[in-house]
């Protein structure tokens, strides 16, 4: 499906790391009386937002953003979610429901490649499909993705970690999302982190195949292993315990998200290890507070509310004006921005502090 945009662009792009742009990002007219713009007598625009789960504040914030935009624009919004991270079946049913209802579009954070055939079916039925946060493995499954540059998010915490170590050996624990399926956000953050550390990547599209020992940008490293957390606090704790049993000298912990980071912190604390660098990705209000408290040392902040707001606006605009969103220049997705958050800034690594981050956090 090719929806070419015509005329001047109606949106402003967030530049990676630009907080001013992150706060201002919107399609032109997003704040103007939306429902009146649809015109008298026109059918209501139907949109389904299908998130991974509602147990993660990231996706709850996404729902809040979509609801606010839908209320403003007079869009009929349907909310659905997997029962847990990785639940593809419930998402597939929600996609089928959106097709049956005749929705104009779907916004989805895919729980895995198993949902992609259903998304192709939705596109074939005429729905405009936008992936939020997590690009699908098959680019043809969606019309466009609105997301954080997850590789960049990983790179930023990797660069910060390398600078923080100041030449000390890095004994690294990697706490990822899954070990039974490949999800792009999982791989991109993990591989971005290692790249930011200055560690050679084997296959950039795969986790866990790097050389277990070698040199990073500041000294020597050892990768203890990769463990899955399912993106949850208890999963992060179990993963950290497993990795600690392999090597009690771990001094660097990368986690896929902040719930997993908190679980890992609890495991290391219980083991009497407090001098461990913990870095993560999310930038939710709870994670920013944990960063201020020193539980997390640095995190990359992303903007789920904007992803959802812009997604609803994009489908509304497509129906009412025929104008479709476009990828950010030089990328294969629409970049919604990222900023490194820490109260321990390092030379050569751009960051904001937790006070600034708390003013724009979510959850």
Averaged pLDDT in 10-residue chunks for the chain of 363 residues: 29 27 32 37 85 93 97 98 95 98 98 97 98 93 97 98 98 96 94 98 96 98 98 97 98 97 98 96 97 98 97 98 96 96 98 97 89
CA distance 188 to 184: 6
CA 230-236-241 angle, 5° bins: 130
Q: Are residues 125 and 272 in the same domain?
A: no
Which residue in the block uniquely carries the two structure tokens 């969103």?
325
Residue 3 within a domain: no
Q: Are residues 313 and 297 in the same domain?
A: no
For the record, the structure tokens of 288 come out as 């920013």
pTM of structure: 0.79
Q: Are residues 227 and 267 in the same domain?
A: yes
CA distance 346 to 159: 9
Burial of 213 (0-12, 13-18, 19+ CB in 10 A): exposed
Among candidates 68, 298, 338, 82, which has minimal Cα distance to 197? 298
3-class state of residue 77 by DSSP: strand
Q: Are residues 202 and 273 in the same domain?
A: yes
For the record, the structure tokens of 109 come out as 């954070």
Say if CB 252 and CB 276 are below 8 A apart.
Answer: yes
Residue 315 within a domain: yes
Residue 56 within a domain: yes
Among candidates 92, 275, 100, 112, which has minimal Cα distance to 186? 112
3-class state of residue 169 by DSSP: coil
Residue 287 within a domain: yes
Q: How many domains does the chain have?
A: 2
Q: Are residues 222 and 104 in the same domain?
A: no
Q: Are residues 202 and 351 in the same domain?
A: yes
Q: Are residues 205 and 144 in the same domain?
A: no
Q: Are residues 211 and 135 in the same domain?
A: no
Residue 263 within a domain: yes
Q: Are residues 140 and 282 in the same domain?
A: no
Which residue in the block uniquely carries the two structure tokens 């104008």?
323
Residue 7 within a domain: no
CA distance 189 to 157: 10
151's enclosing H/E stretch is helix 150-165
Q: Are residues 215 and 194 in the same domain?
A: yes
Query: Regarding beta strands 339-341 and 277-282, do their DSSP bridges make them parallel or antiparallel, or are they unpaired?
Result: unpaired
Q: Cα 338 to the chain's mean position, in Å?
A: 10
Q: Are residues 139 and 163 in the same domain?
A: no
CATH number, domain at 269?
Answer: 3.40.50.2300
CA distance 188 to 166: 25
Query: Regarding beta strands 128-132 and 144-147, do their DSSP bridges make them parallel or antiparallel, or are they unpaired?
Result: parallel
Q: Are residues 141 and 155 in the same domain?
A: no
Domain that holds residue 142: 19-148+303-325
């Amino acid at each position: 499906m090719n929806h070419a945009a015509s005329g001047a662009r109606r949106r402003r792009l967030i530049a990676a790391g630009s907080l001013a742009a992150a706060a201002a990002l919107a399609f032109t007219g997003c704040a103007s009386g939306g429902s009146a713009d649809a015109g008298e007598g026109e059918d209501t625009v139907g949109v389904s937002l299908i998130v991974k789960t509602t147990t993660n504040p990231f996706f709850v914030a996404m729902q809040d953003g979509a609801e606010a935009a839908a209320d403003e624009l007079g869009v009929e919004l349907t909310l659905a979610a997997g029962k847990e991270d990785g639940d593809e079946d419930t998402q597939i049913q929600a996609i089928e429901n959106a097709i049956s209802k005749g929705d104009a579009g779907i916004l989805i954070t895919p729980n895995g490649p198993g949902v992609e055939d259903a998304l192709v079916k939705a596109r074939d039925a005429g729905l405009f499909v936008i992936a939020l946060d997590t690009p699908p493995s098959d680019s043809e499954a969606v019309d466009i993705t609105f997301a954080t540059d997850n590789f960049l998010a990983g790179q930023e915490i990797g660069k910060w970690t390398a600078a923080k170590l100041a030449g000390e050996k890095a004994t690294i624990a990697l706490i990822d999302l899954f070990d039974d399926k490949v999800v792009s956000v999982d791989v991109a953050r993990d591989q971005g982190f290692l790249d930011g550390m200055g560690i050679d990547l084997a296959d950039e599209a795969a986790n866990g195949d790097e050389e277990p020992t070698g040199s990073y940008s500041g000294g020597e490293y050892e990768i203890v292993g990769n463990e899955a957390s399912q993106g949850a606090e208890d999963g992060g704790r179990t993963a950290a315990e497993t990795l600690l049993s392999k090597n009690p000298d771990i001094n660097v912990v990368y986690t896929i998200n902040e719930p997993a980071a908190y679980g890992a912190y609890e495991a290391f604390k219980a083991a009497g290890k407090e001098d461990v660098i913990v870095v993560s990705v999310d930038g939710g209000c709870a994670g920013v507070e944990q960063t201020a408290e020193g539980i997390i040392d640095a995190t990359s902040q992303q903007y789920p509310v904007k992803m959802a707001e812009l997604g609803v606006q994009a489908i509304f605009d497509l129906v009412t004006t025929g104008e479709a969103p476009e990828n950010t220049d030089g990328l294969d997705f629409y970049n919604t921005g990222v900023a490194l958050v820490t109260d321990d800034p390092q030379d050569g690594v751009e960051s904001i502090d937790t006070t600034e981050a708390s003013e724009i956090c979510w959850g």
